[in-house]
Amino acid sequence: MKNNKVNKQRRDFLKKTSLGVAGASLTGGMTGMLTQPAMAIEANLTTVVTAAHWGPIGVVVQDGKAVKSGPAMQPAIVNELQSVVPDQLYSETRVKYPMVRKGFLANPGNSDTSMRGRDEWVRVSWDEALDLVHNQLQRVRDKHGSSGIFAGSYGWFSCGVLHASRTLLQRYMNATGGFVGHKGDYSTGAAQVIMPHVLGTIEVYEQQTSWDDVIANSDIIVLWAANPLTTMRIAWTSTDQKGIEYFKKFQATGKRIICIDPQRSESAQMLNAEWLPINTATDVPLMLGIAHTLVSEGKHDKEFLKKYTKGYEIFEEYLLGKSDGQPKTAQWAADICGIPAATIKQLAADFSKNRTMLMGGWGMQRQRHGEQSHWMLVTLAAMLGQIGLPGGGFGLSYHYSNGGVPTATGGTLGSITANPGVAAGAKTWLDDTSKVAFPLARIADVLLHPGKTIDYNGSQITYPDIKAVYWAGGNPFVHHQDTNTLVKAFQRPDVVIVNEVNWTPTARMADIVLPATTSYERNDLTMSGDYSNLNIFPMKQVVPPQFEAKNDYDIFAELAKRAGVEEQFTEGKTEMEWLEEFYQTAFTTARNNRVAMPRFEKFWAANQPLTFETGEAARKWIRYGEFREDPLLNPLGTPSGKIEIFSDVIAKMHYDDCKGHPSWMEPEEYAGNVTPEYPLALVTPHPYYRLHSQLAHTSLRKKYAVQDREPVMIHPADAKVRGIQDGDIVRIESPRGQVLAGAVVTENVIQGTVALHEGAWYDPLDLGKSAKPLCKNGCPNVLTRDEGTSKLAQGNSPNTCIVQVEKFVGKAPEVTVFKQPKHAA
Ligand SMILES: Nc1nc2c(c(=O)[nH]1)N[C@H]1C(S)=C(S)[C@@H](COP(=O)(O)OP(=O)(O)OC[C@H]3O[C@@H](n4cnc5c(=O)[nH]c(N)nc54)[C@H](O)[C@@H]3O)O[C@H]1N2
Ligand SMILES: Nc1nc2c(c(=O)[nH]1)N[C@H]1C(S)=C(S)[C@@H](COP(=O)(O)OP(=O)(O)OC[C@H]3O[C@@H](n4cnc5c(=O)[nH]c(N)nc54)[C@H](O)[C@@H]3O)O[C@H]1N2
Ligand SMILES: [Mo]
């Protein structure tokens, strides 16, 4: 990482704009951090404070144009994601006008859907486009009811409590009669279903033992499939980077940081961690190997297991091989996971002797049998007996949205809801919406097989028959696994509508594309740190909407008007009236907490973040501390009130792919199961310079692209036998598809596995002409498997995948996905 250079650039930037300066303190028990009020440096220059998932941003506006952007608060480490606001606003890839696919316009709702993604585009007026959308949705609703419309619209859109595109879409859908939604997400599909059985709560999106406590008491922290210095460059709300700051503080104590990962991640590098390269999808064997060592050396905490857990004895039979004939020894584990037996034994000794915090990330549950990774991690932590003690146990969210940063005392903003006010006694959205929902990652299967029934978490779900798909704020043609199957699935509905800022691969697959504003073209508010709620950031409009883009709010308000439900949708409020109301919610909760906040007008005029203070109790908070203190008075929400190492509930489901206790089930594709045709495993980590597919079209691309392709990390030994050199264009193929990528030959990835980041835009060369169209850019999901994690969670499993890599010879086709599609400009 070129930190020095970037630091200097940032200092220069700060000098020029006066942003990022720690500022004055406000009254009333909180500190107003950062920026000085908007100041005109020259007459025609202003600095506007706004925010994105990637933090508070100051944007310099000159003569009505955004010219520069940077941090509006001193970040713990440089966050380049904040520097590309002008790129985003004025990008070559923006959707400029309402657009309709040519074949669709000629025959709305009855077109040749195999032309999606390769037809020409026709520009239409806003009125024409909105009438078309309205008529199509009305047609589907009349004929098929709400179960014919999928508006789950999964995705990370932009932050902000008002302009939340998916919520707005669903608000409109609810006001007009409901829609098919989904269960779960791509982030923690497996974990959020298994954890409630084990711990009585979803765990993954919850506050962690306070970082102050970890720094004071943990001897070792383990980044187990976690890359926090990358994944905390963003947050679901917005990031203040406090989590990263704490990781840096922990590093400064000189205590041990261990990183268990197939790649030497950015975090491993920047925190100078001990890296233990592991084969992808083999963490359960490693954990079992450590657990077996603990038992054979009498180091497991029998007291803890007895008092706080249920079913350990049954699990131990499995661990020792009494129930299946295979003792899960360190050597057994080593042969599978690639970490030497001696190291595994040493880990058992070190973890049990020292106060250890196992920080589990989520990449290891985004794979077949992904439920087992976190279940086994909790089981291992239980055997170590440190759960609920200062600095010990496990945490499943230290890498996400500043988990562990103590919760501030202040106010929480209100936000727009998907449930508009409905007259009493009227048929409400709940009547329809909640009835039909499917596990999200099954979307392609749902579109392809209406009426099919699948198992899910002890119940059965029958797929609806989807005729219309509406997406606002997500990118399924990048985020969903096995793109080639998804292409076919998306040919099933009559109509696909997408609100988008950019000509993303998903917009290109639609029939109707409505141009949406970026968050920099509207006013909004957000908080920072999903658990800490440390700041309120103003998100001020930087420039007017570009081209003919409209806010999603206004798009849905206009559609609601056509459906006769405008009043329900808007409640008669303007943008600023909504924002004042949402701010007032925070104002009131803050007052109840005895914290004074400035009035809305004053806050808005100040053009700077509002920072709350954090109390002593929050700094000392220990997850499961109360449970440990008194498990009878503070039981968990599981059937037994204890940590369920054996779950009767799950056992009684009789699933072959998720048993009553954590266990190792070989995935269909992983390093231990490669074939001569596909001899390498693939892992798809989240990218440092993007949020998924967001910002892929900005100048940040220059920092990582290799010959204008997505970089793929390959070990020197794997490269050598294939005659691949650093910087070569390579072709990667899996049983499902093929992509081009640019080789980065490096020892930072374990031999036998290649790493290709998720979020690369899908750019097919010969869509509709080939069974396996070549993605010119390197979207990993062209290669990955579209199969549920198990019958329990039906989560997504992209990190279960084998591939072959070869040097690409000949003239590589140009990447075109970042340009306007045919006739769209
Ligand atoms: N192989 C593999 N695949 C994965 C993963 C993996 O680890 N490996 N991870 C998965 C995970 S965890 C996730 S969360 C998903 C992420 O998948 P997504 O959340 O779908 O990815 P994003 O790129 O954030 O897509 C957001 C889209 O919203 C658009 N947008 C932004 N603001 C607005 C707005 O105001 N209005 C509208 N209408 N649109 C807006 C952006 O232009 C962008 O196209 O990917 C999943 N896919
Ligand atoms: N900069 C940036 N930050 C992000 C995102 C982004 O796209 N960009 N996405 C956000 C979202 S929506 C989410 S859900 C989170 C994702 O957070 P995570 O799911 O934790 O992120 P990943 O990168 O998938 O995985 C973390 C690490 O686990 C490793 N890993 C993958 N598979 C395995 C395995 O089988 N075993 C082991 N031991 N390690 C494995 C990966 O190489 C990576 O270094 O991040 C969030 N933060
Ligand atoms: Mo995610």
Helix intervals (H) in 152-281 = 165-175, 191-199, 211-217, 228-231, 242-252, 266-270
Band (519; pLDDT cuts 50, 70, 90): very high
Ligand 2, atom 12, residue with closest C-alpha: 187
Q: Which two tokens stand for residue 741?
A: 């990528």
Classified by CATH at the fold level, domain 99-184+421-523+546-568 comes out as Rossmann fold (3.40.50)
Residue 726 counted as an annotated binding residue: no
Q: Which ligand is nearest to the CA of 234?
A: 2
**Residue located nearest, by CA, to atom 26 of ligand 2:** 226
3-state secondary structure of 631: coil
Res 533: pLDDT: 95
Q: How far apart are CA 370 and CA 361, in angstroms?
A: 12
Segment 669-700, tens digit of pLDDT: 999 999 999 999 999 999 999 999 999 999 99
Does any ligand 2 atom lie closer than 6 A to the CB of residue 799?
yes
Question: Is residue 698 within 8 Å of residue 88, measured between CB atoms?
Answer: yes
Q: Tell me what percent of the residues of the chain surpass a pLDDT of 70.
A: 93
Nearest residue by C-alpha to atom 25 in ligand 2: 363
Atom of ligand 1 nearest to the CA of 160: 35
pLDDT in tens, 52-66: 999 999 999 999 999
Looking at residue 43, what is its pLDDT?
Answer: 52
DSSP-assigned beta bridge partners for residue 502: 94
- Quick check: 8 pLDDT over 50? no
Q: Is the pLDDT of residue 459 over 50?
A: yes
Inform me whether the pLDDT recorded for 31 exceeds 90: no
The answer on pLDDT for 6 being more than 80 is no
Residue 361 beta carbon below 6 angstroms from any ligand 2 atom? yes
Determine how β-strand 738-745 pairs with β-strand 711-714: parallel
- Ligand 3 mean position to 171 CA, how many Å? 23
- CA of 671, nearest ligand number: 2
Q: Is the pLDDT of residue 24 over 60?
A: no
Mean pLDDT for the stretch of residues 109-129? 97
Whether 362 lines ligand 2, by a CB cut-off of 6 Å, is yes
What three-state secondary structure class fits 491? coil
Residue 600 has pLDDT above 70, yes or no: yes
Q: Which residues are CB-neighbours of 676 under 8 A, at least 6 positions away?
A: none
Decide: 165 and 499 in contact? Cβ < 8 Å. Answer: yes
Q: Does position 26 have pLDDT exceeding 60, yes or no?
A: no
- Sign, Cα dihedral of 366, 463, 450, 489: negative
CA of 226 to the centre of ligand 2 (A): 6
Please indicate whether the domains covering 99-184+421-523+546-568 and 190-406+621-653 agree at the CATH topology level: no
Q: 373 CB under 6 A from ligand 2?
A: no
At 435 the pLDDT is: 63
Q: Give 757 Cα–ligand 2 centroid separation in angstroms.
A: 9
- The ligand 1 atom nearest the CA atom of 499: 38
For ligand 3, a single-atom ion, the residues with CB < 5 A are: 187
Catalytic residues: 154, 156
Distance 559 CA to ligand 2 centre (A): 38
Q: In this model, does residue 3 exceed pLDDT 90? A: no
Residue in 19, 22, 82 with CA at minimum distance from that of residue 53: 82
127 carries a ligand binding annotation: no
Average pLDDT, the chain: 93
Q: Where are the domains of the chain?
A: 99-184+421-523+546-568, 190-406+621-653, 680-807
Q: According to the model, what pLDDT value does residue 436 have?
A: 82
- Of ligand 1's listed atoms, the one at least distance from the Cα of 759 is 23
CB neighbours of 623 closer than 8 A, spacing ≥ 6?
A: 206, 207, 208, 209, 388, 393, 395
Cα separation, 321 vs 232, in Å, equals 40
Tell me: is residue 781 an annotated ligand-binding position.
yes
Tell me which residues have their CB closer than 6 angstroms to ligand 1.
Answer: 155-158, 163, 165, 186-187, 366, 472-475, 479, 499-502, 504, 516, 519, 552, 684, 686, 691-694, 758-759, 780-781, 784, 798
Determine the CATH number of domain 680-807: 2.40.40.20
Cβ atoms 471, 477 nearer than 8 A: no
692 CB less than 6 Å from ligand 2? yes
Which secondary-structure segment (H or E) carries 350? helix 341-353
Is any atom of ligand 2 closer than 6 Å to the C-beta of 243?
no
Instruction: Ligand 2, residue 278: give the atom nearest the CA.
Output: 38
Q: How far is the CA of 406 from the centre of ligand 3 (A)?
A: 22
pLDDT tens string 800-817? 999 999 999 999 999 999
Q: Is 769 exposed, middle or buried (0-12, 13-18, 19+ CB in 10 A)?
A: exposed
Task: For ligand 1, pick from 479, 524, 526 the residue to mutate: most ligand atoms within 8 Å of CB.
Answer: 479
Instruction: List the Cα angle 233/475/72 in 5-degree steps.
Output: 30
Report which ligand 2 atom has the smallest distance to the Cα of 233: 1
Q: How far is the CA of 159 from the centre of ligand 3 (A)?
A: 14
The closest residue, in CA terms, to atom 13 on ligand 2 is 187
pLDDT tens digits, 189-216: 999 999 999 999 999 999 999 999 999 9
Ligand 1 atom nearest the C-alpha of 517 is 35
How far does residue 504's CA lie from ligand 1's centre (Å)? 10
pLDDT in tens, 353-391: 999 999 999 999 999 999 999 999 999 999 999 999 999
- The pLDDT score that the predictor gives to residue 420 is 79
In terms of Cβ atoms closer than 10 Å to its own Cβ (0-12, 13-18, 19+), residue 48 is: buried
> Mind listing the pLDDT tens digit for each residue in 478-499?
999 999 999 999 999 999 999 9
**Which listed ligand is nearest to 54 at the C-alpha?**
2
In testing the pocket of ligand 2, which one of 81, 283, 686 has its CB within 8 Å of the most ligand atoms? 686
Residue 475 assigned as binding residue: yes
Verify whether ligand 2 is closer than 6 Å to residue 227 (CB atom).
yes
5/633: higher pLDDT: 633
Q: Is 664 annotated as a binding residue?
A: no
Per-residue pLDDT, 424: 37
CATH fit for domain 190-406+621-653, picks 3.10.290.10, 3.30.470.20, 3.60.20.10, 3.40.228.10: 3.40.228.10
DSSP letter string, 449-476: STT-EEEETTEEEEPP---EEEEES--H
Per the annotation, does 366 bind a ligand? yes
Pocket test for ligand 2, best of 185, 227, 231 (most atoms within 8 A of CB): 231
Global confidence as pTM:
0.94
Ligand 1 atom at minimum distance from 475 CA = 20
The proportion of the chain whose per-residue pLDDT surpasses 90, expressed as a percent, equals 91
Say if residue 761 carries a ligand binding annotation.
no
Q: Average pLDDT in the 583-592 region?
A: 97
Query: What's the half-sphere exposure (Cβ side, CA atoms, 13 Å) at 471?
Result: 26
Tell me if residue 694 falls in helix, strand or coil: strand
Please report which residue ranges of 563-655 form alpha helices under DSSP H.
Answer: 566-570, 575-592, 600-606, 616-620, 625-629, 648-651
Q: Rounded to whole angstroms, how far apart are CA atoms 527 and 299?
A: 44
**Look-up of token digits 């499943």:** 396
Q: What is the pLDDT of residue 823?
A: 75
pLDDT tier for residue 13 given thresholds of 50, 70 and 90: very low
Q: Is 273 in the pocket of ligand 2 (CB under 6 A)?
A: no
What's the pLDDT tens digit per position in 222-270? 999 999 999 999 999 999 999 999 999 999 999 999 999 999 999 999 9
Distance 798 CA to ligand 2 centre (A): 12
Residue 329 CA to ligand 2 center (angstroms) comes to 28
The H or E element that residue 121 is part of is: strand 121-123
